[in-house]
Amino acid sequence: MADEWQDPYDFAVEVAKIAGKIIRRAAEEEIKVNTKSCTVDLVTATDVRVEKIIIGAIKEKFGEDTHCFIGEESAAAKGPSVLTDKPTWIIDPVDGTTNFVHGFPFVAVSIAFAVNKELEFGVVYSCFEDKLYKARKGKGAYCDDEKIEVSDIKDIHKSVVISEFGTNRNVDVVTEICATMKRILLIPVHGIRGTGTAATNMCMVACGAVEAFFEIGIHCWDVAAGAVIVQEAGGVLLDVDGGPFDLMSRRMMSANNRTIADRVIKEIKIFPAERDDGK
Ligand SMILES: O=P(O)(O)OC(CO)CO
Ligand SMILES: [Mg+2]
C-alpha cells in the first residue's frame, strides 16, 4: 500500500523550516506584544502571521476541504478544539512566545498530524538552535536526520527533570507548582530545568538530555508533535496521574521510562485546568 502520510510529513518538515526562518527574521525587528487569557499570556503579530502562512501553505498543497486544522492562534475564534477522525493538523506556530519576546533563544515551530484521532507524525523545529526534530508513528525519532533515543537512566537520583511555571498566576496554583518543584528537588534529582517551550522540552526527553518533562496547563498544540517524538524515541507518554495520556486534557507527563515517570508522578500535586475540547 502506498504510504499515504509520507507526503504530508515531508511537507511539514519543509513548512516548519520556512516558518522558523520567518521567526528568526522577525526577532530582529520591533516585536509588538499583545496578551490573551491574562497579562502574562503573550501573543505577537508573528505568532498570528506564521500560523496563517503554515495553514495557507498546507491548504494550497493538500486542498481546502480535505484536512482540518487546530492552530493556537485561530483556536479561540473557533471554540473548543475537537479532534475528529479527519486528517487534522495541530499547529503551534511559535511555541515559546515569551522567549521570543524576550530574546531567550528557545522558540519552536510545532506541527503535528492526526488521523482517526491518532497522532501520525510530529515535527518540532527549534528555530534559533536550527535543530529539526521529527518522528512518524512506528518509524523512529530523529534530530537533523540522526536517530535519537531517550536516556536509559532508571535511578531518579541520577535524573534531570523539566517542568515549567506556566501562565496561571492564581496564588493557590503557583503555591502548588512551587511545592511540587520543591518535593522533586528534594528527592533529590540532579536538577530541574526548563527551556520555556513545551515542544522543545519534549525533544529534550526524546534525545536523552533529561529524563522527564511534565506540565499541567499546556495546550494540545504545545505537546502534539512532541508526543510522537518522545514515544518514537522510546519514551513513555502519560497523564500526570499515571493514567493514559489525553491530548485535550492539558496535562502531560513524558519520560524516558515508566520507573522515572512513576517516581516523579508521586510528587505532583494536580490542580484543575479547563480541557481544550471543552468537555
Ligand atoms: O509560547 P506558547 O505557545 O504560549 O506555549 C507555552 C505554553 O503554553 C510554552 O510551551
Ligand atoms: Mg505553545
CATH of the domain at 115: 3.30.540.10
pLDDT for 232: 98
- Shared domain for 27 and 137, answered yes or no, is yes
- Return residues with CB closer than 5 A to ligand 2 (ion): 92, 95, 222
Residue 271 lies inside a defined structural domain of this protein: no
- Shared domain for 13 and 142, answered yes or no, is yes
Q: What is the CATH number of the domain that holds 240?
A: 3.40.190.80
Residue 214 lies inside a defined structural domain of this protein: yes
Secondary structure in 3-state letters for 58-110: HHHHHCCCCCEEEEHHHHHHHCCCCCCCCCEEEEEEEECHHHHHHCCCCCEEE
Residue 272 lies inside a defined structural domain of this protein: no
- Shared domain for 117 and 232, answered yes or no, is no
How far away, in angstroms, is 179 Cα from ligand 1 center? 22
Pocket of ligand 1 contains residue 92 by CB under 6 Å? yes
pLDDT for 65: 85
Pairing assessment for the beta strands 88-95 and 108-115 based on DSSP bridges: antiparallel
Residue 118 lies inside a defined structural domain of this protein: yes
Pocket of ligand 1 contains residue 42 by CB under 6 Å? no
Pocket of ligand 1 contains residue 211 by CB under 6 Å? no
- Shared domain for 256 and 176, answered yes or no, is yes
- Shared domain for 110 and 166, answered yes or no, is no
Domain count, the chain: 2
State the angle between helix axes of 45-62 and 6-26 in degrees (0 to 180), rounded to the nearest 10.
150
pLDDT for 118: 97
- Shared domain for 132 and 161, answered yes or no, is no
pLDDT for 1: 52
pLDDT for 64: 80
- Shared domain for 165 and 138, answered yes or no, is no
Residue 279 lies inside a defined structural domain of this protein: no
Range of 119's domain? 6-147
In the chain, which stretches have pLDDT less than 70? Answer: 1-2
